[in-house]
Amino acid sequence: MLSQEQNDRLTRVGPGTPCGELMRRYWIPIRPYAQLLENPVQKVRILGEDLVLYKDNSGNLGLIGDRCLHRNVDLQYGIPDDCGLRCPYHGWLFNETGKCVERPMEGAPQAEIKQKLKGYPVRELGGLVFAYMGPLPAPDLPRWDLFVWPNAMRQIGITELDCNWLQCQENTGDPAHSAWAHGYLFEYAISRQKGFDHHSADQLHTLHQRKKVGVGIKELYAEQSEYGFRKGIRYSKALGADEDKDQEHSAVVFPFYTQTGRSGAPRSEYQIRVPIDDTHTYHICYQCYAAPEGVEVPKQDVVPYYVPPQYDAEGNAILDYVLAQDAIVWVAQGPIADRTTELLGRTDIPIVVLRRQLDEQITRVEQGLAPMNTFEKSPDMLHPTAGKPDSFHKHAFRKFYHKGFANDDADRYGPLIEEVKDLHRRIEEFQLKAQAGTGEARAPEHA
**Could you tell me the pLDDT band of residue 193, with boundaries at 50, 70 and 90?**
confident
| pLDDT number for residue 187 | 81
Residue 439 has pLDDT above 60, yes or no: no
Report CA 350 to chain centroid distance, whole Å.
20
Same fold, 33-132 and 145-395: no
CATH superfamily of 33-132: Rieske [2Fe-2S] iron-sulphur domain (2.102.10.10)
> For a pLDDT cut of 90, what percent of the chain falls above it?
74
139-178: pLDDT as tens digits: 999 999 999 999 999 999 999 999 999 999 999 889 889 8
Most confident of 65-74, 172-181, 203-212: 65-74
CA distance 178 to 203: 16
Average pLDDT, the chain: 91
| pLDDT number for residue 390 | 39
Residue 105 has pLDDT above 70, yes or no: yes
145-395: CATH class: alpha beta
Region 54-66: mean pLDDT is: 98
Residue 181 has pLDDT above 50, yes or no: yes
Region 45-58: mean pLDDT is: 98
CA distance 356 to 352: 6
Domain ranges in the chain are 33-132, 145-395
**Could you tell me the pLDDT band of residue 405, with boundaries at 50, 70 and 90?**
confident
306-359: pLDDT as tens digits: 999 999 888 988 998 899 999 999 999 999 999 999 999 999 999 999 999 999
Q: pTM of the full predicted structure?
A: 0.92
Strand pairing of 228-235 and 251-253? antiparallel
Strand pairing of 84-86 and 93-94? antiparallel
